[in-house]
C-alpha cells in the first residue's frame, strides 16, 4: 500500500506512530499539560513528514525526537516562541531538533548519545533550543558532529 501523507487515511504503521507519540505524551510531565490541539500541532506535522525518531525497547515506545527543516523566517519566529505552520516544518535547510520526549529516568542521556553519533540525524549540523516555561528561548545550541572535540556552540544563554 502506498504511504499516504493525508492524515485522514493513515497506514497501519502511521497509526502505530500516532499511538506511540500519544503513549509517550501521556507519560511526560511537560506534554500531558498540553491541550489536544497543541499536541496535534506539535506532533502531526513531523509524523506526516517523517521527521521523527521513536526509541522502542522490546517493542514499547520509551522516547521520541522530532525535527524540522526551517527557513530563516521560520527559524526567527521559532526563536521568538511562535508556533509553526505545517509548511514551516519543511521550509528551508536549517535543521532543528524541535521536541524530545523522554519520560523515563535516564533515557534522555541515551537519546542524546544517539543524536551525537554521526549518521543518525539527517544532517551532521543542527540546532536546538532550551526553553524557560513553555516558549521563552533560554539558549540556542548549534551542533556540528564533524567538528571533533568541540561539537557544540552555545549561542545564547
β-strand 152-154 against 52-57: which pairing, if any?
unpaired
Q: Which three cell numbers stand for residue 68?
A: 524540522
Q: Are 151 and 143 in contact (CB under 8 A)?
A: yes
Catalytic residue among 30, 31, 58, 88: 31
Distance between alpha carbon 144 and the CA centroid of its chain, in Å?
A: 17
CA distances from 36 to 25, 33, 60, 109, 140 (A): 10, 9, 22, 28, 27
Catalytic residue among 88, 93, 99, 134: 99
Gap between the Cα atoms of 74 and 81, Å rounded? 11
Residue 88 known to be catalytic = no
Cell numbers 551525537 correspond to what residue? 116
Gap between the Cα atoms of 98 and 94, Å rounded? 12
Q: How many CA atoms lie within 13 A of 23 on its CB side?
A: 16
The residues carrying an active-site annotation are: 31, 99
Amino acid at each position: 500500500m502506498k504511504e499516504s501523507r493525508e492524515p485522514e487515511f493513515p497506514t497501519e504503521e502511521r497509526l502505530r506512530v500516532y499511538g506511540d507519540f500519544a503513549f509517550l505524551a501521556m507519560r511526560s510531565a511537560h506534554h500531558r499539560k498540553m491541550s489536544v490541539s497543541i499536541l496535534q500541532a506539535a506532533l502531526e506535522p513531523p509524523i506526516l513528514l517523517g521527521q521523527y525518531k521513536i526509541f522502542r525497547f522490546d517493542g514499547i515506545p520509551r522516547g521520541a525526537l522530532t525535527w524540522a527543516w526551517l527557513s530563516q523566517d521560520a527559524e526567527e519566529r521559532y526563536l521568538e516562541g511562535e508556533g509553526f505552520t505545517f509548511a514551516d516544518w519543511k521550509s528551508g535547510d536549517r535543521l532543528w531538533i524541535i521536541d524530545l520526549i523522554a519520560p523515563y529516568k535516564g533515557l534522555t542521556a541515551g537519546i542524546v548519545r544517539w543524536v551525537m553519533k554521526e549518521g543518525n540525524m539527517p544532517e551532521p549540523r543542527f540546532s536546538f533550543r532550551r526553553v524557560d516555561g513553555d516558549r521563552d528561548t533560554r539558549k540556542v545550541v548549534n551542533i556540528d558532529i564533524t567538528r571533533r572535540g568541540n561539537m557544540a556552540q552555545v549561542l545564547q544563554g
